[in-house]
Amino acid sequence: MTALLAIGTRKGLFLARSSDGGSFEVEPVRFTSIGIHSVAIDTRGSTPRLLAGIEYGHFGPSVMWSDDLGETWEEAATPPVAFPERTATALARVWQLQPSPSEPDVVWAGAEPAALFRSEDRGATYTMVDGLWDHPTRPQWQPGGGGLCLHTVIPHPSDPQRIGVAASAVGFFRSDDAGATWRPSNKNIRAPFLPEGAQYPEFGQCVHKVAQHPAKPERLYLQHHFGVYRSDDFGDSWTDIGSGLPSDFGFPITVDLDDPDRLFVLPLHGDVDRTPLGYRYQVFRSDDAGGTWHGHSTGLPEGPVHASVLRDAMSAGPAGVFFGTRDGEVYGSADAGETWSLIARHLPDVLCVRAAVL
């Protein structure tokens, strides 16, 4: 068995492989000087497929795929992700590529400006989900610091009718009819940047990332602009679980696939000073669904470090826990974050990280 790590950066895609469950060998860059804002490793079929949401610069964004683990890449003859003419909108970026665990050939794409697209050919071509685009609250949606981006797609692992999405600075939305209709699902999420008396809006929360465990699909974990939350009813209501953290500001949040009660965050100082807490990388882990937290940094630089970790630059799975930094370093842990080792350095700004065992 081989562990495959896909690292999307500001200037290219890097693949790293491990056959011994330990050290990774980083291969030469693919898509040199092209931004890779999203990546997925689709292991559902007999042949694994890599998907990459790329940004060509002057030529714009697109999605490409590889069925030979990155040796060769293909692209649809027409733009794979494109807004219908009626929207009078151009695609700015593909922020998320998410294979559906309950529909064999379906892949979801989250885009900017905040929209959801669906593919039924394993990610080659996509159509826009009208129900979310036409939501009556859309005229009031406001962009976050990174734009009006739909950065998270949470398909239910056994019910294809149920799907959740998160966008900045819009909030979490849920559909129970395969995307035909949607409702905001942000109850109890506080938006402290809003005026007193208006800090618990129906929508308008700046959600940074949402994670789910397939064994407990109704449970979601959410990293907010200020706050970490858990839902046990697929977003109908949320509970603050960030009080035990030294800082509840951050971007990534991910769940250990071996344990739905174990999750990881990487706190930053705060909204203005977006640097690692204490100017060193510390991954905080909870083993009781957010009841308590413990920081882990063995094997990580002692500091000072000033580069942050972006929302999609942390991933947990059968191969371990991984994160990449904005100064081009990638770290991995094979023991649930207890100890860490350096996998790569001197890469461009790391935008996204995904791992799988093949």
Stretch 63-85: mean pLDDT: 97
Between CA 212 and CA 231 the distance in angstroms is 10
Stretch 52-61: mean pLDDT: 91
Query: Using omega within 30 degrees of 0 as the cis cutoff, is the peptide bond preceding 113 cis?
Result: yes
**Which phi and psi angles does 58 have, rounded to 5°?**
-60, -25
Contact 191, 171 (CB under 8 A): no
Q: Please write the tens of the pLDDT for every residue from 297-319.
A: 999 999 899 999 999 999 998 89
Contact 6, 355 (CB under 8 A): yes
What is the reported pLDDT for 211?
98
What is the reported pLDDT for 57?
80
**Which phi and psi angles does 131 have, rounded to 5°?**
-60, -40
Tokens of 279: 């100017």
Q: Please write the tens of the pLDDT for every residue from 242-252.
A: 999 999 999 99
pLDDT surpasses 70 at 21: no
With bands split at pLDDT 50, 70 and 90, how would you rate the model's confidence at 16?
very high
Q: What is the mean pLDDT of the chain?
A: 96
